[in-house]
């Protein structure tokens, strides 16, 4: 539904202006300033053009502009905010009162804004919304004369992503060249993260595997997330048929690079899956009888897909594979035992 405000003979489009609710004053003010400048009302609103004392056309024009500005402000404020400016008769009076409320230079106001700036965490809100909220508060602090540069904003946003689910994202961000760690790039990465998470959540259980039927439940022990072996979403599956390493969980990646266009990969059953990007993944593997953290390079991201460790890739890298009975599979390097894994048979609810 389109919202318009009709004043005199002019119509004003106000649907793009979110109503002032007490927390979005900076954004609301920026939009209103642009709006008033576009419609030649700003000089009346900021008091530059005062009301002519003598009656006549000039006074009438000022009164009309004042009424237009007043109406636009009132129509883009919540009822609670309108009550706060009750009694203001002119647009400059209302504009100044709102400024005194939300742009006060008092120590109390600065302290309150600083507290909000440092307390915001990405718990209930999405990472993107959290970043926007932090930027809004930073803008208000700047209007009070406080210097907050791009580096400080980026650092605060990253610190707000303290939950373990964002660990891989934080590590990936630290791998970005420090000279390129801007708020613009960070916002773009967070939007990509949310988009990929949404795609992963929507993926269905009918995932296709490359591996031979006899080895479809073989898994490298203890993935880096420390999840117990169970659901195939949380384990790595040894695959003797895959030509690349594949991972279905974006939160396990670091140094991730998204493809400009997804790449279709053909499966053994003639179906296709979509590869969205590539990066590195850390896992805990049993190496020479000791649990060690290793890196798997050139891993392809397939939203919601299985986590496949390509036997072919490891063979190309100089490993040898020995499969002993039905219990284990061991990779050897230079004739010495290296990565060990266990063979398990998958139940129907794990496939």
Within this chain, do residues 238 and 157 fall inside the same structural domain, yes or no?
no
- Answer yes or no: do 227 and 310 share one domain: yes
> pTM higher than 0.85 for the full model?
no
Does one domain contain both 247 and 285? yes
Do 217 and 344 lie in a common domain? yes
pLDDT 10s digits, 18-39: 899 877 888 899 899 999 999 9
The Cα–Cα gap between 149 and 139 comes to 10
241, 345: one domain: yes
Query: Does one domain contain both 143 and 191?
Result: yes
- Output the six-digit token pair for 178: 């420090």
> pLDDT at position 150, please?
92
Q: List the domain range (segments joined by +) for residue 23.
A: 4-102
* Domain identity same for 192 and 213: no
Q: Of the candidates 168, 210, 190, 195, which has an alpha carbon nearest to the alpha carbon of residue 305?
A: 210
How many angstroms separate the CA atoms of 116 and 108, rounded? 12
pLDDT tens-digit series, residues 250-287: 888 888 898 888 887 765 555 567 889 999 988 777 77
Are residues 111 and 97 both part of a single domain?
Answer: no
Total structural domains in the chain?
Answer: 3
Residues 6+ apart with CB under 8 A from 80: 21, 22
Give the number of other CB atoms < 10 A from CB of residue 140: 21
Q: Are 341 and 238 spatial neighbours (Cβ–Cβ below 8 Å)?
A: yes
Measure the CA angle with vertex 278, ends 334 and 194; round to 5°. Answer: 140
Same structural domain for residues 241 and 153?
Answer: no
d(CA 221, CA 290): 12
Residues 236 and 340 both lie in one domain:
yes
Q: Single out the residue of 135, 160, 161, 159 nearest to residue 148, CA to CA.
A: 135
Q: Does 215 lie in the same domain as 179? A: no
- Among 102, 132, 154, which residue terminates a domain? 102
Residue 99 has pLDDT above 70, yes or no: yes
- Which of 42, 72, 102 terminates a domain? The answer is 102
């Amino acid at each position: 539904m389109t919202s318009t405000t009709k004043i005199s003979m002019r119509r004003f489009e106000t649907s793009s202006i979110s109503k002032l609710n007490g927390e979005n004053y900076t954004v609301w003010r920026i939009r209103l300033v642009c709006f008033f400048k576009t419609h030649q009302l700003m000089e009346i609103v900021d008091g530059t053009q005062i009301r002519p004392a003598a009656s006549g056309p000039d006074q009438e024009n000022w009164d009309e502009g004042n009424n237009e500005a007043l109406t636009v402000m009132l129509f883009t404020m919540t009822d609670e905010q309108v009550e706060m400016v009750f009694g203001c008769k002119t647009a400059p009076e209302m504009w100044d009162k709102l400024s005194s409320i939300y742009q006060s230079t008092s120590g109390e106001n600065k302290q309150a804004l600083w507290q909000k700036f440092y307390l915001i965490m990405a718990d209930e809100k999405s990472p993107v919304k959290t970043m926007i909220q932090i930027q809004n508060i930073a803008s208000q602090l700047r209007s009070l004369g406080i210097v907050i540069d791009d580096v400080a904003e980026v650092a605060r946003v990253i610190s707000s992503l303290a939950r373990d689910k964002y660990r891989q994202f934080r590590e990936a961000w630290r791998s970005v060249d420090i000279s390129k760690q801007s708020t613009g790039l960070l916002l773009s990465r967070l939007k990509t993260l949310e988009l990929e998470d949404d795609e992963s959540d929507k993926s269905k259980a009918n995932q296709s595997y490359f591996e031979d039927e006899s080895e479809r439940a073989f898994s490298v022990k203890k993935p880096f997330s420390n999840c117990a072996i169970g659901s195939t979403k949380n384990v790595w599956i040894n695959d003797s048929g895959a030509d690349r390493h594949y991972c279905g969980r974006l939160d396990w990646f670091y140094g991730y690079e998204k493809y400009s266009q997804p790449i279709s990969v053909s499966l053994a059953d003639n179906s296709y899956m979509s590869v969205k990007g590539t990066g590195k993944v850390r896992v805990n593997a049993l190496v020479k009888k000791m649990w060690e953290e290793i890196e798997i390079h050139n891993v392809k991201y397939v939203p919601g897909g299985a986590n496949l460790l390509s036997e072919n890739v490891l063979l190309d890298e100089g490993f040898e594979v020995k499969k002993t009975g039905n219990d284990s599979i061991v990779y050897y390097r230079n004739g010495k035992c290296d990565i060990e894994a266990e063979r398990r048979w998958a139940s129907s609810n794990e496939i």
